[in-house]
Structure 1
Amino acid sequence: MKNLTILIDSITSAVNNLYNNYPYIDKLNVFPVPDGDTGTNMNLTTTNAYKDVKDIDFKSVGDFLNSFSRGLIMGARGNSGVIFSQIIKGLAKGMQSSTELSTHEWKKGFAEAKNIAYKAVMKPVEGTILTVIREIADQIQSVDDSVDLKALWKKIITIGNEALENTPNLLQALKDVGVVDSGAYGLMKFFEGMNSVFQKNEIISKTDKLELNEGGNIEMDIETEFGYCTEGIVMLNENWISKLEVSAIRDQLQIYGNTSIVVVIDEDILKVHTHALSPGQILMFLQQYGDFKTIKVENMNLQADKQVKSSDDKQWEEKTTVVSERKLVNEVATIAVVPSEEIKKYFEKELGIDIAINGGSKMNPSTNDFLKAIEEVDAKTVFLMPNNGNVLLTAKQAEKEELKSKVVVVPTKTIQQGMVSSISFDPSNTVVKITKALTAAIKNVISFQISQAAKDSVVNGITVKKDQQMAIVDGKIVGTTSEISSVFEKHLSRYITSKTEMITIFVGQDASSKNVSQLRKFLDENCDVEYEIIEGGQKVYSFIIAIE
């Protein structure tokens, strides 16, 4: 039991030392997002897990580490918190049968810690917490098993701190602002806390007064939309336990365009951390696997504005978009989401939409964007056309939050559906009739799009190679070709029939004049149908085609 007591004391010291340093760790936070919360997340991760184990009598080193690592996974917050939980899980796995804290056992533990931590991260980045655990794990393998604990841990701390100091040389984002990686720094403070027990048999105590972190710690310019740090723990349904693969979750999150993806499956729980522009989309996807135990969604732009001291000291301001007193001068109004300024002009000037919100290439307007537009149209009833499946949830949220106007969300999932719905809008009808007409119009169009594949993948049983041209119909890939002109002949032609009345084509930024000429030639020679070509200016899709 002596070994177990030493281990528990070392973890107690480590948790306390991380707590003492977490405000400073927050100040170092630059990568992957300068949101100033790495220390806070790591502290909450370790502190909450420690509370669950500190008053329990354990029978072995392995039992204690397993329980502590499970608590870390359940309470893991942020990118570094989740990766840290996997480092401890690896130690637990490598030392699960340990009866003594020998050098041999620690070598096994650190080797597993490295392996499991790297496996949890979809795209491991060097110059981070991962680098430090890898350097420690690899270098101590050459230490002779006869070396005592004191000498081993002295070496662990030396290796770790050298790797920490080298992180700016491996990651340009750190070098640009002159700091070491915050997650790696936090890991070393944890290990240094453990080392205090191994070297001096002293448990580091918690500091009564911590330094204040008032923000403005990093000098850099922010030009990126960071989105939302989105995390969830799902208690897996029985039919998913031991059957769900980490790759299935990762692949879907990548398809959504997410970054900083960390996925962990531990027995009956699924833990996900990711950075997303549409967090609701992620939560709806994860919910199919079971019930949520916890959910956390944080606006990283708000956090970054506190952490970063920009060159002009300009602070981010949240714009209030709901005004309590409005006269509702209009009976009805329409609002649609579009991907470009060119399509915005088309929807407003040609289709008569009151306000078209430019959601950009990712079609990602906020709830406040909708509320501001609702305020501006000042109507008793406002019809929202999201024109993207991922925006539906945001539109529904605006519907709930708007207190003055009646809001009706039309379930349009594509620009093409939004276009035909707009054409069907008759303001002289009743709200019920308008709603039916806009919704029914969705069925009268085929949404055909062409986009170039960014990477190799397999989607819905179709193998996609990087740089191939994808034919997408109603949101699903139906085929691929090497050239855009081949898409017209092999795929577009299948959806243009004798019943087709009109084709509307929005030309994107990636389409060349040659591509447009090829499309004209194809339609003129093969299709007896009226068509209109519009400069859409959209990214991602070279052509957005509505087939009515």
Structure 2
Amino acid sequence: MPPTVPGPDAPPERPAVAAPVDAGALRRWAGAALAVLGRHREEIDALNVFPIADADTGTNMYLTFEAACRALDDRLTAPGPAPSVPEALQALAHGALLGARGNSGVILSQLLRGAAGARYTGSAVDGAALAAGLAAAAELAYEAVARPAAGTILTVASAAAEASSAAVVAIGELAARIPVPAGGEALPVPNPLTANDSLAYVAQAAAAGAREALGRTPDQLDVLREAGVVDAGGLGLVVILDTLAAYTGGLDPRGAFRQRRLAAVRAAEPAPTRARPEPEFEVIYLLEATESAMAELRRGLDDFCERGGGDSLVVVGGDGLWRVHVHVDDAGFPLEAGIAAGRPRDIQITHLASQHSTGVHTASPAEPLTVSAAVPTVRATRAVVAVAYGEGIATLLEEAGAHVLRAEPGRPPSAADFERAVALTRASEVVLLPNDTETTVVAAAVAERLSAGQPSMRVAAVPAKVTVQGIAALAVHEPSRRFDADVVAMTAAAGATRYGAIEVAATEAWTMAGVCRPGQVLGHVENDVALIEDDQAAAAEAVLERMLSAGGEMVTLVIGDGTEPGMPEAVTDRVRTRHPVVDVVVYDGGQTGYPLLIGVE
């Protein structure tokens, strides 16, 4: 259920007085950008024809940015003073480096690193600071790519940087046009744009410049023009910059993009043929090495690619930790070179030839589970990985046969958490139950990635948005059915379960049902606060009456911490009295934040 008090991903409100930009504001923008990027992930995947038509650019950028947001969360919750904006950007960049997926994710991590390394002057984060960050990001990203091509994400990043710089100049010219009085002494410039206003102005200019450059990418790259698409990585960057423009302008980026289709795909046209066969493998790894050793490694890999051994070489990072990405026919060569240069880890090898076919398509992304000696051998079984918030829910899901991925409130599982959980099942068929609205996107991306990366494995995510939907899905799970049929049945059960909850307000706040006072009980129906009551039983009974007015055969009640004594029994008795044909099932979930979760099937 959504929290009453806006969390890191909550939409920004337009304040009467512009608030300063700090690390918290940066995290709120990053959360909104992640949500929008997740919404358009499949669309971006469908555009992916360069450098390899493997339909994974959107997924890779999403998972990379998700790792970046997770690292910033860790920095914000660490003991000590709150980080500055440059320090928060450094946390984002470091997280992206560690979690970078694919060519597009590696480049995105370098863009964030460039933005973090820019020289910011003054204490306010204004338009000039944004322009400096975008310029540094574009420059560093170009340096990371061995043979940069026009019409790619690099082109879009450069256009955004140029447009933002021009916007800063325009702001200066506006201030310079303030008239000088007849007395001869110049009046102080009244600062026609505040730091926040200039940030919004420059962000809008950068996004507009990126969109224009994206529209020109088919004219710059033959493979895009012949396929009839714009560059997929460039579109991902446009999504991120458009979200920044919306956020700094006081809009909810997720709402602004909800109905917008960002690009068209002419899927009927055949994809172009390459002059030479595509390399067989994609190799990615982290490397601990010195600057001098990395310079030698990059020269060696560049020479290897120049001789026809591979392409798409990208090397990013710094301060002793690097991410190496290359497409090759001989997967052993870059690994041996990495071992000679330092200590490689987090090695990922993908067989590209088996992950795509000709044409613009929507196939699953082409990344396998990280290569590791700790990954058990897969056996021919089916498993369910379910996320649990609370020990009682975890026990319930385990008793129902699920492999439980424990999570904490405000700390949903990451892509890496899901991947580890899938590996530990040792199953060839795995169903993911995220049991959280925001986590459904992460689970879907992981499912596509793992299914594509290992042909012998099938992974699917059921879009269970809350725990009661996950319980309903697990109740109809039948391992003896065909995998697709089982996933469809579980998805249908989750979708047929309406959900609600009650929550005790911690502070005075405005809700859709009015202003609540501390200690009052809020009744949630789906994603909205539908009512405010003074006690838990009254709120729960009112929520149930609203939900059952549309019909229902079964009510599921999950009791959490902070439940008032006698409330579950009173609610159960009321349902059985007013709706005698409705079955009621009560579980002790132990979840925090919500004394009662409600499901109606």
> Of 318, 328, 341, which residue of structure 2 is paired with 1:266?
318
Name 2:230's counterpart in structure 1.
Answer: 180
The correspondence of residues 366-381 of structure 1 with structure 2, limited to 5 A, is: none
Q: 1:303 to 1:206 in 2, by over 3 A?
A: farther
Q: 1:309 to 1:47 in 2, by over 3 A?
A: closer
Name 2:21's counterpart in structure 1.
Answer: 3
Name 1:137's counterpart in structure 2.
Answer: 161
Q: 1:232 to 1:175 in 2, by over 3 A?
A: closer
Q: 1:207 to 1:129 in 2, by over 3 A?
A: closer
Identity of aligned residues (%): 28
The correspondence of residues 378-393 of structure 1 with structure 2, limited to 5 A, is: none
1:27: how far off?
0.3
Asked if 1:79 is matched to 2:103, the reply is yes
Asked if 1:35 is matched to 2:54, the reply is yes
Maintained 8 Å contact 2:301/2:334: no
In structure 2, runs of 5+ residues without a counterpart are 1-18, 77-81, 173-192, 363-601
Give the partner amino acid of 1:2. P
Give the partner amino acid of 2:319. E
TM-score by length of 2: 0.47
Q: Secondary structure at the match of 2:200?
A: helix
Q: 1:269 to 1:64 in 2, by over 3 A?
A: same
Computing the radius of gyration over CA atoms, which structure comes out larger, 1 or 2?
Answer: 1
1:195: how far off?
2.1
Maintained 8 Å contact 1:258/1:276: yes
Maintained 8 Å contact 2:146/2:313: yes
TM-score by length of 1: 0.51
1:301: how far off?
2.0
Give the partner amino acid of 1:12. G
The correspondence of residues 136-215 of structure 1 with structure 2, limited to 5 A, is: 136-143=160-167, 144=169, 145=171, 148-202=198-252, 204=254
Give, in whole Å, the separation in 1 of the partners of 2:242 and 2:290: 41
Q: 1:184 to 1:242 in 2, by over 3 A?
A: closer
Name 2:270's counterpart in structure 1.
Answer: 220
Maintained 8 Å contact 1:246/1:264: no
1:18: how far off?
0.8
Name 2:331's counterpart in structure 1.
Answer: 279
Maintained 8 Å contact 1:18/1:193: no
Asked if 1:251 is matched to 2:303, the reply is yes
Maintained 8 Å contact 1:26/1:40: yes
Q: Secondary structure at the match of 1:94?
A: coil
Q: 1:281 to 1:8 in 2, by over 3 A?
A: same
Give the partner amino acid of 2:101. R
Q: 1:284 to 1:130 in 2, by over 3 A?
A: same
Give, in whole Å, the separation in 1 of the partners of 2:37 and 2:129: 24
Q: Secondary structure at the match of 2:348?
A: strand
Give, in whole Å, the separation in 2 of the partners of 1:109 and 1:223: 38
Name 1:24's counterpart in structure 2.
Answer: 43
Q: 1:163 to 1:207 in 2, by over 3 A?
A: closer
1:178: how far off?
1.1
Name 2:283's counterpart in structure 1.
Answer: 231
Give, in whole Å, the separation in 2 of the partners of 1:243 and 1:32: 24
Maintained 8 Å contact 1:61/1:98: no
Give, in whole Å, the separation in 1 of the partners of 2:130 and 2:291: 36
Maintained 8 Å contact 2:156/2:213: yes
Maintained 8 Å contact 2:142/2:148: yes
Maintained 8 Å contact 2:160/2:210: yes
Name 2:124's counterpart in structure 1.
Answer: 100
Give, in whole Å, the separation in 2 of the partners of 1:217 and 1:124: 26
Maintained 8 Å contact 1:86/1:113: yes
Asked if 1:89 is matched to 2:139, the reply is no
1:141: how far off?
1.7
Give, in whole Å, the separation in 2 of the partners of 1:283 and 1:153: 40
1:162: how far off?
0.8
Maintained 8 Å contact 1:34/1:304: yes
Aligned length in residues: 307
Give, in whole Å, the separation in 2 of the partners of 1:159 and 1:301: 35
Maintained 8 Å contact 2:281/2:353: no
Give, in whole Å, the separation in 1 of the partners of 2:246 and 2:315: 33
